[in-house]
Structure 1
Amino acid sequence: MPLPRWLARLNRRFVNPAEVRRGVRPVLVHVGRSSGRVYRTPLDAHPVGDGYVFVPLYGPRTDWVRNVLAAGTARLSVGGAEKELVAPRMVRKKDVWSLLPAGTRSPMGVSDESELLRMDLRHAQ
């Protein structure tokens, strides 16, 4: 069950900017679907194979998920380095969780049927 929308609004307004400034968590850099504005969303980025999995705690219809799906690309800032991500797609937790490092804890309220966002690293051509 996704977290309540009022909490998402609170996080977007107060918590996320503070997290981006702290620079401790990975930050997903994405472009707004209608505004074209660049957004920076601090998230837990779980490495899998040749990409990453992100858990949308507020559900798969959150703005950052919809922005990434519409754009087809995003950047992930991890430890001062930026990585290009492509091919966003929604996957079920039960289909990808076993690919994460052993001991990775599932966030509260995320079931095996929950939809997660998976993206691949863009390789230099």
Structure 2
Amino acid sequence: MFANRIRYFNKYVFNRVMLKFAGSSRSQFAVVRHVGRRSGKAYETPIIVLAQGDAFVIALTYGPKVDWYRNLVTAEHGTLLWQKKTYEIGKPESLDQAVALPLFPAFERFILQRSGVQDFVRVKSSIALPTSA
């Protein structure tokens, strides 16, 4: 029940605030733009991403049943606003936790582990991206 309250708060309060900063050059947040799989409505959701070659690695902090992820899987594409640039992205592909976690910087990895995040995906981008350290 507590987890549901956090999800509700994040979806209706925190995400709206974060959309003002996400995608900027000073933010660790990106904005994933996707279309509702039933409604056809356009949505924007702030997420934390890690640039990796020609792809982005994304931690599914609430698991694979979140709407933005399911919308991307259904549509097989979307866009991502990151570091003031918009990237076309493809269908998300599952990424094993043992492969994904070591890619993140130490502090983010610690937070992801402490939060119990187990699901990760990779989305290919239309352009090569700088690799994060």
Report the secondary structure of 1:26's partner residue: strand
Higher share of residues assigned helix: 2
TM-score, length basis structure 2: 0.78
Report the secondary structure of 2:108's partner residue: coil
Corresponding residue of 1:78? 82
Offset of 1:101 from its aligned partner?
A: 5.4
CA distance, structure 1, for counterparts of residue 105 and residue 6 of structure 2: 30
Q: Which moved more, 1:17-26 or 1:30-39?
A: 17-26
Corresponding residue of 1:67? 71
Q: 2:108 aligns with which of 89, 99, 105?
A: 105
Offset of 1:90 from its aligned partner?
A: 1.7
Corresponding residue of 2:41? 37
The total of aligned residue pairs comes to: 118
C-alpha RMSD over aligned residues: 1.9
Query: Match for 1:103: what amino acid?
Result: A
Aligned-pair identity (%): 24
CA distance, structure 1, for counterparts of residue 99 and residue 21 of structure 2: 33
Determine if contact 1:26/1:43 at 8 Å carries over to the other structure.
yes
What residue ranges of structure 2 are gaps of 5+ in the alignment? 128-133
Determine if contact 1:4/1:58 at 8 Å carries over to the other structure.
no
What residue ranges of structure 1 are gaps of 5+ in the alignment? none
- The one-character-per-residue Cα deviations of 1:8-65 (angstroms, maximum 9, x if unpaired) are 1211111111111234321111111101111111111111221001111111111111
TM-score, length basis structure 1: 0.82
Query: Match for 2:46: what amino acid?
Result: P
